[in-house]
Structure 1
Amino acid sequence: MEQGGCVYILSNFKHTVLYIGVTSELYFRIKEHKEKFYPKSFSAKYNCNTLGFFEQFSTIEEAIIREKQIKNWKRSWKINLINEFNPNWDDLFLTLE
C-alpha cells in the first residue's frame, strides 16, 4: 500500500524565517522539529517550530513535487499562501492528532 505525504511550512516566532519540508508522517515530523531532534538542522538553528501551513497528498511523490514548487517561489508568494490558509498564523500543530 502506498503512503501519502504532506508538504508543510514552519516559521519562527517572528515569522522572519520560513522552512519548507515534506513528510509522510506530519505529526511526528513536526514534533521532531519542535523538540529539536536534529539540533544542528536549519529549523533548530532558526527556531522554526510553528506550523503555519500544510497540504496533504495521496502519494509522497506528489508532495515532493509540490515542495519543490513552493521552494522555488518568491518569499511573498509563500507568505500569501500561509495568509490564505492560516490568516492568524496559528500553530496548526495543535490541530493535528
Structure 2
Amino acid sequence: MYVLTACLIVIVLSFEVSFRRSRNLSRNAQWAAPAQRLVAQRRALWPALCAAICTLLVLFGSNHVQDKLGLSATTDLMMLGASFSSGWFLGVTAGMDWD
C-alpha cells in the first residue's frame, strides 16, 4: 500500500516539474532565434537524461537488492523507476506548445 502511494507521489512530482520546465522552455523559445531554440531544446533534454539515469540505476541496482532484500523490493524499485519516467513523459507531452 505504501509503495503505491509513493508511486503516485513520484508521478505527480515528476509530472509537475517536467510540465513547468517544458512550458517555460516552449514559451521562451517561441520568439527566439534558431541558436536560442537549440539551447532550449538541449535544456529540455536534461530531465530525459535524469530519467534515463535513474531507470538504469534501478535496473542495475535491482540485482543487488534482490539478493539482499528479496523479489518484492526489486519490484518496488522498478515501479518507482517506471513512475518517474512516466510522470516525466506525461509532463513534457502536456507542456509542449502544439501550435
Per the normalisation by structure 2, the TM-score is: 0.23
Query: Which protein has the larger Cα radius of gyration, Structure 1 or Structure 2?
Result: 2
Between structures 1 and 2, the one with greater strand share: 1
Q: Highest relative contact order (Cα 8 Å, sep 6+), 1 or 2?
A: 2
User: By percentage of residues, which structure has more helix?
Assistant: 2
